Amino acid sequence: MAIARAKIKSAGAAKSPLLSAAMFTPAVLYILLIVGGPFLLAIFYAFSDARIGNAEMHFVGLENFRSILQSPSFRVAIRNSFIFTIFSQIVVIIGSNILAIALEKTFRGRGLLRFLILLPWVAPIALGAIGWKWILDSIYSVITWVLVALHIYKPYNAPMWLGEPHLAIASVLLVHSWRLMPFSTVILLAGRTAIPKDIPEAAAVDGAGFWRTQLQIMIPMMRPIISVAVLFGLIFTFTDMTVVYILTAGGPFDSTQTLPSLAFATGIQGSDLAAGAAISLFLVPLLVILAYFMLRVAHRAEVS
Amino acid sequence: MAVVQTRNLTKVFKEGQLGAVNDVNLETREGEFLVFLGPSGSGKTTLLRMIAGLETPTSGEILIGGQIVNDLSPRERRIAMVFQSYALYPHLSVYKNIAFPLKAQKVPKDQQRPKVEWAAGLLGIGALLDRKPRELSGGERQRVALARAIVREPAVFLLDEPLSNLDAKLRASAREELERFHRRVGTTTIYVTHDQVEAMAMGDRVMVLNKGVVHQLGTPTEVYDNPADTFVATFLGSPPMNLSEIGDVIAGFRPEHFRPASTADAGAVPFRFKVENIEYLGSEWIVSGTLAGGKMDGKKVFSRLASAQTLKLGETYDFAVPRRELKFFDRATEKRVEPRSVTWQ
């Protein structure tokens, strides 16, 4: 495969360097215009005092970064970004492992169940988030309604899922997990099916019970594929602002703000383009680290 | 050590279909090397997997050491199994692979190392303990699989075609090693194979299966010299036994007993043999052709000879089969029957 690819490449390059350049151009242009341009613009804005509706702009050095670092909202946003990303991954990995184990066995209606589990992934994020907004609504929440009907809460002191900081954080976390679970489940299911049946059978004959087989044999063997699922999940959650934006819009009192949502709220809604750009730049080093690991996993998969 | 028994053991995968294993009754002897031999789809692996506890029987009983184990999980049956693929745990070192059954049985940590080293030493892989399975050759992997099986000193060994992934040269030496290994540990062993050479060479007894039915259970000499029916007669031996319908019986004789009349004794049954093909295999010659004249005119037969240099293609020769080497099978049931006098001409 690699040899064939190299041959094609070298043959093409030898025949016409212009052709290969022409084939590359769309991809390069795409990245430069769609990713590179805005990225450079964001760096440029971050060192200025650009505002929406103001044509004047001055270089202000690190002023934006200095003021951001002192803002309590920013610190909450950083903390939330990490909380949402890390805890949702923990929930997702545990949940999707359980689902993958359950869905591996053949039973009646497995196809339908797999389809239903995949639905949150194929539905638009906004649609799912709006659904959850209703489920968690302060007045119409179906969860509250059930809890009241069960006499666990009285109607007047029922929890405000999106209105109290801790509950709001938990709610956003839950929706993130719900959203990523199907994707992770499908990946893990594929990884699980790729393990020869002999291996768990050998473990059974060797005297291992369910937990030992899963924890010491199956899951370690799936480590490469689990790391793919986790890396994708980390990036999706870390850069996502739809869930927070629709559920809480960062509230109450900026308690569920994340880096992307705070950048949007400050830069676009608050008209302070410079501060918004500076906030969003804080995503870069973290995403670079994640990208590095993704490339490593991809490389390892290619080699083996 | 223990004896394995099955009583009317049957496995039907899909209701209404023919069973993969049908009504098998068998009893191993203490410490014996029993081979399940059959073509692919004969049910030999399914039978082994039921004994291992990896497959649930549709009906019938399995006993290990006199105890019914139908409802016991594989771990409770005190068996060890070596898989065709070896099924080594790829992420664990050789040491951890071998120690895995001990850990699973909660053997105290300080007793694990001596046991692993004993098993590894027995199979000559003591120097490989830190390697990962992917760094091993096929033969070494097989030994690791065996070490992992022996380390917990099981009551019964189950081996599912453990040599089929090795190349021809390695297979012969691995076979010999397995035999020696079995003589040393003396554990009751059930060995599944489709290779008749392995079965004949290694088995104390051989059980020949086809389509889930046991055709014969006997020593290698019994199944080869006195096949119970035409299936066993043709499945064993290469080329297979020559069979020919004559009257209400099927007569059969092995290619090595079909030889030039000049070398046969006085009472031998004579045939005219037209040579059509000659193969030289080094230590022997395989001559194929047809019988000429008599009731079996045109019947294709094989002869296995130490030397066939004097035979020529297309020529017809006088051949003969000693009377005691003729086997007879009932034409309807294909089961073996007593020798009888037949008019050959």
**Structural domain total, chain A:** 1
pLDDT recorded at residue A171: 87
Taking only the tens place, the pLDDT of each residue in A3-18 is: 444 445 554 445 688 8
Rg of chain A on CA atoms, in Å: 24
Mark whether B149 and B249 lie in a shared domain. no
- What is the tens place of the pLDDT at every residue in B273-316? 999 999 999 999 999 999 987 778 888 999 999 988 888 999 99
Q: What is the pLDDT of residue A281?
A: 87
Model confidence pLDDT, tens digit, residues B89-103 = 999 999 999 999 999
Q: How many Cβ contacts (< 8 angstroms) between chains A and B? A: 58
pLDDT digits (tens, 9 = 90+) for A186-240: 899 989 988 999 999 999 999 888 999 999 999 999 988 888 888 888 888 888 8
Mean pLDDT score across all residues of chain A: 84
CATH number reported for the structural domain that contains residue B253 in this entry: 2.40.50.140
Residues B206 and B253 in one domain: no
Asked whether the CA dihedral A16, A18, A22, A24 is positive or negative, the reply is positive
Query: Is residue B50 located within the same domain as residue B150?
Result: yes
Question: The domain containing residue B172 runs over which residues?
Answer: 4-225
Between CA A265 and CA A268 the distance in angstroms is 6
CA distance A204 to chain B (A): 6
Q: Is B52 on the interface with A (CB under 8 A)?
A: yes
Q: Do B104 and A196 touch (CB under 8 A)?
A: no
Instruction: Count structural domains, chain B.
Output: 2
Is A22 inside any structural domain?
no
Please state the rounded mean pLDDT for residues B229-235.
93
Domain with A164, as residue range(s), is 70-303
Asked if the Cβ–Cβ distance from B90 to A221 is below 8 Å, we say yes
Does B71 reside within a domain?
yes
Amino acid B338: pLDDT: 86
For residue range B182-195, what is the model confidence (pLDDT) as tens digits?
Answer: 888 889 999 999 99
CA distances from A78 to A74, A259, A270, B24 (A): 6, 6, 19, 69
Whether B267 and B192 share a structural domain: no
Q: What is the pLDDT of residue A241?
A: 83
Confidence check: pLDDT of B263 > 60: yes
Statement to judge: residues B249 and B209 lie in one domain: no
Whether the CB of A208 is below 8 Å from some CB of chain B: the reply is yes
Whether residue A218 lies inside any domain: the answer is yes
Burial (CB count within 10 angstroms: exposed 0-12, middle 13-18, buried 19+), residue A273: buried
How many Å apart are CA A287 and CA A39, to the nearest integer?
Answer: 13
Domain contains A287: yes
- Shortest distance between the Cα of A215 and any Cα of chain B, in A, equals 12
| Domain end marker among B193, B225, B257 | B225
pLDDT digit string (tens) for A42-74?
Answer: 888 888 887 777 777 777 878 888 888 888 888
pLDDT (tens digit per residue) in B121-141: 888 888 999 999 999 988 899
Q: How confident is the model at residue A303 (pLDDT cuts 50, 70, 90)?
A: low
| Strand B188-193 to B33-37 pairing | parallel
Of B164-173, B209-218, B300-309, the range with the lowest mean pLDDT is: B164-173
Say if CB A151 and CB A89 are below 8 A apart.
Answer: no
CATH number at residue B166: 3.40.50.300
Residue A274, domain member (yes or no): yes
Cα separation, B214 vs B34, whole angstroms: 14
Q: Which residues contact A96 (CB under 8 A, 6 or more apart)?
A: A181, A184, A185, A187, A188, A229
CB contact under 8 A, A208 and B100: yes
Q: Rounded to whole angstroms, what are the CA distances from B245 to B255, B328, B335?
A: 17, 10, 13
HEC per residue, chain B = CCCEEEEEEEECCCCCCCCCEEEEEEECCCCCEEEEECCCCCCHHHHHHHHHCCCCCCEEEEEECCEECCCCCHHHHCEEEECCCCCCCCCCCHHHHHHHHHHHCCCCHHHHHHHHHHHHHHCCCHHHCCCCHHHCCHHHHHHHHHHHHHCCCCCEEEEECCCCCCCHHHHHHHHHHHHHHHHHHCCEEEEEECCHHHHHHHCCEEEEEECCEEEEEECHHHHHHCCCEHHHHHHCCCCCCEEEEECCEEEEECHHHCEEHHHCCCCCEEEEEEEEEEEECCCCEEEEEEEECCCCCCCEEEEEECCCCCCCCCCEEEEEECHHHCEEEECCCCEEECCCCCCCC
3 state SS of A1 = coil
> Are B213 and B272 in a shared domain?
no
Q: Which of B194, B225, B256 is the last residue of a domain?
A: B225
Nearest-by-Cβ selection for B80 from A199, A205, A209:
A205
3-state secondary structure (DSSP) of residue A150 = coil
> What letter does residue A267 receive in the DSSP assignment?
I
Interatomic CA distance for residues B301 and B308, integer angstroms: 15
Tell me, yes or no, whether B185 lies in a domain. Answer: yes
| Window B:86-115, CB contacts with A under 8 Å | 87, 89-91, 100-101, 103-105
Amino acid, res. B178: L
CATH number of the domain that residue A85 is part of: 1.10.3720.10
pLDDT in tens, A105-133: 888 888 888 888 888 888 888 888 888 88
User: Do B290 and B324 lie in a common domain?
Assistant: yes
Q: What is the pLDDT of residues A242-254, one digit of tens each?
A: 888 888 877 787 7
Please tell me whether residues B49 and B130 are part of one structural domain: yes
Q: What is the pLDDT of residue A95?
A: 93
pLDDT tens by residue, B101-114: 999 988 998 999 99
Spell A165-188 as b/e; 16+ CB within 10 A means b. Answer: eeebbebbbbbbbbbbbbbbbbbb
Question: Please, what is the Cα angle at B224 between B49 and B39, to 5 degrees?
Answer: 35
In a domain? residue A38: no
Check whether residue B116 and residue B145 sit in a common domain. Answer: yes
| Residue pLDDT, tens place only, B136-148 | 988 899 889 989 9
Residue B117 lies in a domain: yes
Same domain, B248 and B220: no
Checking ipTM against 0.85, whether it exceeds it is no
pLDDT at B159: 93
Starting at the edge strand found earlier in the chain, the sheet holding B242-246 runs B242-246, B249-253, B327-330, B336-337
| pLDDT confidence of residue A302 | 60
Among B225, B254, B273, which residue terminates a domain?
A: B225
The percentage of chain A sitting over the pLDDT mark of 70, rounded to a whole number, equals 94
Sorting pLDDT into bands at 50, 70 and 90, what band is B19? confident
- Rounded Cα distance between B38 and B207, Å, is 8
The A residues from 74 to 133 touching B (CB cutoff 8 Å) are none
Shortest CA distance from A206: residue in chain B: B101
Pick A158 or B232 by higher pLDDT: B232
Please state, in angstroms and rounded to a whole number, the distance separating the CA atoms of residues B257 and B255. Answer: 5
> Do residues B275 and B315 make contact, with C-beta atoms less than 8 angstroms apart?
yes
Quote the pLDDT of residue B264: 78
Yes or no: say if B243 and B251 are a contact pair by the CB < 8 Å rule. yes
User: Which tokens in the block code for residue A90?
Assistant: 């923990």
pLDDT at residue B222 in the model: 93
Mapping DSSP to helix (H, G, I), strand (E, B) and coil, where does residue A248 land? coil
Reported as a single tens digit per residue, the pLDDT across B304-344 is 999 888 889 999 999 999 988 899 999 888 899 888 777 77
Q: Is there a single domain that holds both residue B173 and residue B267?
A: no
Domain match, B61 and B153 both: yes
pLDDT at B18 over 50: yes
Interface test with B, best of A206, A216, A217, A225 (most B CBs within 10 A): A206
* Averaged pLDDT score across all residues of chain B: 90
pLDDT at B4: 92
CA distance A213 to chain B (A): 9
Instruction: Give the separation between CA B57 and CA B46, rounded to whole angstroms.
Output: 9
